[in-house]
Amino acid sequence: MKTLLFVPFFAFLLFTSCQDEVVEITPPNDSEALVANSELTKLISATSIKDGSADNIIDRASCLSVELPVTVIVNGLEVTIDSKEDFKVIEAIFNEFEDDEDHLDIVFPITIVLSNHSEIVIENRDALEDLIQECKGENEPDDDIECIDFKYPISFSVYNANFEIIDVITIESDRQLYHFIKRVKEGEVFASLNFPVTMVLSDGSAVVVNNNQELQQVIHDAKEACDEDDDNDYGDDDFTKERLDNLLMSCPWVVYEFKRNEDNLNDKYREYVIAFKEDNVVKVRARGGDMLTGTWSTRVTERGALIKLEFDTLVDFTLEWFVYDLEPGKIKLYQAGGNRIILKKNCDIVVDYTKERIKNYLQECLWRIVRLSVDGVDNEKDYIGTPLKFFENNVVKLRVNGEFVEGTYEIGVRNNGFVLQIILEGRPNLKLEWFITFLEPGLIKLENATNRMVLQRHCPNVDDDLNYVDNVLIDSEWEVALYEDGDVNKTEEFHMYTIDFLESGWIKVTDPNNGIIDGSWLAYRNEGLFLAMHFGIEAPFDALNHRWRIKEISENRIELKDYSATGTIERILVLEKKV
């Protein structure tokens, strides 16, 4: 693996940055360079081939796809297809009557995208049929791998004959990857992939790989791990009963959306967890912790697959539901009359949890309070940079300014569910009895009436990037080199202050008059790296109470940014090593 200026996460930032930055890369060895005819090169190429199966309901060919928008005439009705969601409109028209013959005509000209990502304008049906004939037959094995994809951007180092780096190529899409790997296969370029890279599986889960050997194994294992849907039916309603049953029982499913008789019941049923068990037993974990048991069965008809749910008490779920759509990690169910359920697969979530299992999860690592709303007031800002630590014998500690405030916690049973109560002096907003509504190894959600709390696990010692951030912060004293709030430069307010990040989690700030301002800090990962800092009400540092996204970091400089909900930059904070 190549040696980068920073640890692997920061390599990702560097390769995608628009700024001129230095990246130190050592020449690859034989195992790192991509060889033109190697198995790995072929596998990478196969993942980048354009998959044309998603629109088979229109063109009945998996080796090509129709560029949208396109106008079609379905059973005499003219329909404009603007997005993949509109494929459902075609299927709904097809399924309207069981005993009719379905017809679809395309309004030409159209643009066709081939498996090599090239585009062709087609003027009539005969020209389209000629292209379709070049495809392999329905459900026959083809060259593309659809069960796993790269998470972009990724980058390749390009070398000359002397193993000297001459370029770093950033890849943003399958199309770019296809054409780059084609050059590798034809011997035009000599390159190696810069690790780590993240691979996304068909169920939505991600795998981080760190070298060529791992990458080859991951792609090889995944290439036949899903249904590539290379048939001429849309939405996989051609499922066999056995395959559908196995999918349902493979993992728990979380309710993402729920509508019954046109009534939106998301607030009532969102995050209910459904577990399909053997012997046609189905268990539903309600948000309040109650476990409800019913029965389930499936059948497959000419109109598609159906799932029948029956409960004595959960009447809104009791119905025979059509499988309306299947996506990786997601099932959409519907029934006439305005009934709809969207379920998301979650193999990490715990359904049959116990008091002992809850305790084990709590005691594994530190926990960040990422959301805390009590009586309609958001209180999570009071806990920025102050994680909780749960111990045996019902002891809980909150780390504030580098010192632990000790309290107690209890796990109790209420109405067939579990509750968590935390008692810490001076922290009444934690003292409520919190129903455990959602439990997985890294996330716990709690509710009580209109109150809500979310805890996220923090295990810094197993994350190389976090260890790097911690070491950089602790190793030096820092000063504010830049603080911009919108268009206003407020750097001068922090002139001559010295910031010292201590290993205990205490931020010691020395002001120009040798006074001390206390603060708390915590570097953590949440789809990126963040630095949480909290200084209480002490001006001017109270303005920095925030969870800042780390954009760049080195031994001498740290750049932090505050983003709005729409992704715009609202504030920039730059810390530089004090000389």
Specify which residues 478 forms β-bridges with.
499, 577
Determine the Cα–Cα distance for residues 250 and 246; give it in Å rounded to an integer. Answer: 6
How many C-beta atoms surround the C-beta of residue 191 within 10 A? 23
pLDDT grade for 550, boundaries at 50, 70 and 90: very high
What are the tens digits of pLDDT across the range 154-174?
A: 999 998 877 778 888 999 999
Determine the Cα–Cα distance for residues 177 and 173; give it in Å rounded to an integer. Answer: 6
Task: Report the run of H or E that residue 201 belongs to, with start and end.
Answer: strand 197-201
Burial environment of residue 278 by CB neighbours within 10 A (0 to 12, 13 to 18, 19 or more): exposed
How many C-beta atoms surround the C-beta of residue 184 within 10 A? 22
pLDDT at residue number 225:
67
Pull the structure tokens for residue 444: 């716990």
Give the range among 60-69, 282-291, 449-458, 521-530 with minimum mean pLDDT: 282-291
pLDDT at residue number 323:
87
Please name the residues in contact with 354: beta carbons below 8 A apart, sequence gap of 6 or more. none
| DSSP for residue 491 | G
Determine the Cα–Cα distance for residues 92 and 104; give it in Å rounded to an integer. Answer: 13
Determine the Cα–Cα distance for residues 369 and 388; give it in Å rounded to an integer. Answer: 8
pLDDT grade for 194, boundaries at 50, 70 and 90: very high
Evaluate if residue 514 carries a pLDDT over 60: yes
Tell me the Cα Rg of the chain. Answer: 28
Determine the Cα–Cα distance for residues 274 and 252; give it in Å rounded to an integer. Answer: 6
Which residue type is seen at 309? L
Burial environment of residue 349 by CB neighbours within 10 A (0 to 12, 13 to 18, 19 or more): buried
| DSSP for residue 33 | B
Determine the Cα–Cα distance for residues 386 and 520; give it in Å rounded to an integer. Answer: 6
Q: What's the length of the chain?
A: 579
* More confident site: 469 or 449: 469
Closest CA to 479 of 416, 425, 556: 556
